[in-house]
Structure 1
Amino acid sequence: MAGRTQALSSRGVFVFIFALSFVHVNTNSTDINPCASQAEDVRNTTLLPHYLPPAKPTLNQWCESGLVPDVIDAPPPLQMRVRYSDLSVNYGNILTPAQVRSPPTQLTWPGEQNGLYTLVMIDPDAPSRQDPTLREFLHWIIGNMPCCSLGSGEIQAQYFPAGPPKGSGLHRYPLLVFKQPEYVIFHEPVLTNKSFEGRPNFSTRKFAHKYELELVAGNFFQAEYDSTVDELYRMVEQQ
C-alpha cells in the first residue's frame, strides 16, 4: 500500500511539473511589452494555455501530404495549434489567402520553461506543386523565442502572406517549431515583407542543420489563388 501511495505521489509531482511547461502569454495585454520594434507583425498573436499536451499527429498526415519528405525527414513529434482569428489550421485543411493575410492570432505548442525556439513557415510548392522550381519559398522566421513568447523573439523574416499564383492549384504551408540548443546568432540578412528578395529556394533542412535545431511541433494548411494575391503582388512590386 505504501508503495502504491508513493507511486501516486510521484505521478502527481510529474503532472504538476509538466503543466508548468505550458506558458500563457497574451501579447494584447497592457502588462506585457510586445517588443513592437522587433515583433511588429506578431503583436496580435496570443499563446493560449493548455495543461495537457496537444494530440500527437499521425505519420500519415505528414506523409500523405508529401511534406515528408519534401520539406522534413520525419513528422514533428507534437502538434502545434494554430489559429487565424476564428479559423483553425488542421493538417492540410484549406484556407484562403484572404483568411491568412495577417499572421496567426494564436499559436500553442509544448515547450520547456527555459528553452529557446525558432518558428519557420514556408511554401514548398512555389510556383506550383507540379513545377516547384522555387522550393521552398520562405514566409516567416522568428528565432530566439523564450518559451513560448513570440513577442520576445527576434524576427529573421517578416510574415509574408500566402500568395499562390493563379492556376497553380493548392499550395501547402507548414508551420514548424524547432528547439534551439542555445541562443543563436543568425547570419542570414533580416527579410522584410516588402520584397521577394531572399525568400525563394530556402531550405528548412539546411537551416535547421546549420543551427542545430530540433523539430518539436508543427501543423499545416493549404491554400490556392484568390483575388487578394494580385493585390499582394502589386504592393510588393510598388516598393
Structure 2
Amino acid sequence: MLHTQGLLFFLPTLLLVPLRVLGQFNNQNLTNTTQAFATAKIVPDVLSSFNPAALLGVEFTDPSTNQSVNVTPGILLSMEQTMKEPQFFLTANVTIPSTIPYVLVIVDPDAPMPQNNTESQFRHMLGGDFHVDNSSKLVNTSAALSDFVNPTPPVGSDPHRYVILAFIQPADFNSTAPSLVNASTPRNNFNLTTFGEAVNLGSPIAGTYFLTGPSSNGTNSSATTSSTSPSSSSSSAATSSGSLKAHDVGSKVTWGLTICLTMYSLVF
C-alpha cells in the first residue's frame, strides 16, 4: 500500500502537464459515462466492467463544415462527420505526468450489423505511445498498430456502437503487441479482452462511445469494405448521458489521486 510521503515525493520528480479547465468536473460526470456504457451494453459486450478514473475527450472535424464535433457518450454522428481521424484528450482534476504512455483503442462490437454481429469486434484503431501534452491532448509518438479506419456501416444496418478506450500502457507493450496486431492482422473478429490479457493491458482508465448508422442516401461512397459500427440498444444511452461534456475537468481530487496512484504503481 502506498504512503502519502511516497506520493508527495513522486509527483514533483516527474514532468507534470497542467490540464486545461474546460468545465465543471464532478463525480457525476464519471458516473454518467459508466451508466451510459451499461445502458448501451458495452458492459458486457466489450468490457466485463468499466470504472473510469478520467474523462476521454474525442473531437472529430466535419469535412463539409470544418467545424469541430465533440463526442459525448451515445451521440449519433453521421458517416461524413466521422470520416477523418479524431483528436483525443485525457482530462482529470489533477496534473497528469507527461512521461506516462497510453494505449488508445477503437472497436465496433456490432460488425457487420447489430442484428448479426458475426464479425465483432472490428478494430478501427489501436495504437500506443500516446502522451498528454500541455493542452491535455493525447499525442502519438510512434506508428499505430492499426491505423484509424472510419465507420462505414452497411446499408440496412442499425447504428453501430463505436467504443473508444484509453489504457495506461504496459512497460513491454511495444515488444509484445506487434506480434498480435500488425498491418497483416485481420481487423474483424478482434477480441479486446483476449488481446488485453495477452499484453497485460489492465482496465481502461477512460472511455466514451458514439453511434453511426449508414448514410441516409443509401450509399457508403467513402467506405472501406471491412469497417463497421454500434448497436441499436445503445441509442437510449445518449439521453441518459447527453449532458456529459467530453473535456470536463475540475476541482475534486479523489479521481485524480486514483490516477496518480495507478501511475505510481506502474513506475515503481
Deviation at residue 23 of structure 1 after TM alignment: 5.6
The one-letter amino acid paired with 1:117 is Y
2:40 to 31, 54, 65: 65
What residue ranges of structure 2 are gaps of 5+ in the alignment? 62-67, 228-268
After superposition, residues 1-239 of structure 1 pair within 5 angstroms as 21-22=16-17, 49-50=20-21, 55-58=29-32, 59-77=34-52, 78-85=54-61, 86-110=68-92, 111-147=96-132, 149-184=138-173, 185=175, 186=177, 187-191=179-183, 198-214=186-202, 215-226=204-215, 229-233=220-224
Q: Contact 1:89 / 1:221 at 8 angstroms: preserved in 2?
A: yes
- Indicate the SS of the match to 1:118: strand
Partner of 1:7: none
Identity fraction in percent: 24
Tell me how far apart the structure 2 counterparts of residues 79 and 209 of structure 1 sit (CA, whole Å).
23
Q: Contact 2:112 / 2:153 at 8 angstroms: preserved in 1?
A: yes
Tell me how far apart the structure 1 counterparts of residues 146 and 212 of structure 2 sit (CA, whole Å).
21
Q: Quickly say closer, same or farther: Cα 1:53–1:210, change in 2 above 3 A.
A: farther
Tell me how far apart the structure 2 counterparts of residues 60 and 120 of structure 1 sit (CA, whole Å).
20
The one-letter amino acid paired with 1:56 is L
- Indicate the SS of the match to 1:62: helix
Q: Quickly say closer, same or farther: Cα 1:144–1:105, change in 2 above 3 A.
A: closer
Deviation at residue 145 of structure 1 after TM alignment: 2.4
Partner of 2:235: none
Tell me the TM-score normalized by structure 1. Answer: 0.70
Deviation at residue 22 of structure 1 after TM alignment: 4.2
Partner of 1:30: none
- Indicate the SS of the match to 1:69: helix
Tell me how far apart the structure 1 counterparts of residues 171 and 47 of structure 2 sit (CA, whole Å).
22
Deviation at residue 166 of structure 1 after TM alignment: 0.6
- Indicate the SS of the match to 2:78: coil
Higher relative CO (CA 8 A, sep ≥ 6), structure 1 or 2?
Answer: 2
What residue ranges of structure 1 are gaps of 5+ in the alignment? 1-9, 25-48
Tell me the TM-score normalized by structure 2. Answer: 0.63
Q: String of CA shifts for 1:20-69, please: whole Å, max 9, x gaps.
A: 75467xxxxxxxxxxxxxxxxxxxxxxxx348868314332110001000
The one-letter amino acid paired with 1:232 is A
- Indicate the SS of the match to 2:180: coil
Q: Quickly say closer, same or farther: Cα 1:106–1:217, change in 2 above 3 A.
A: closer
Tell me how far apart the structure 1 counterparts of residues 226 and 108 of structure 2 sit (CA, whole Å).
20
Deviation at residue 142 of structure 1 after TM alignment: 0.9
What is the CA RMSD across the aligned residues, in angstroms?
A: 3.0
State which drifts further: 53-62 or 93-102: 53-62
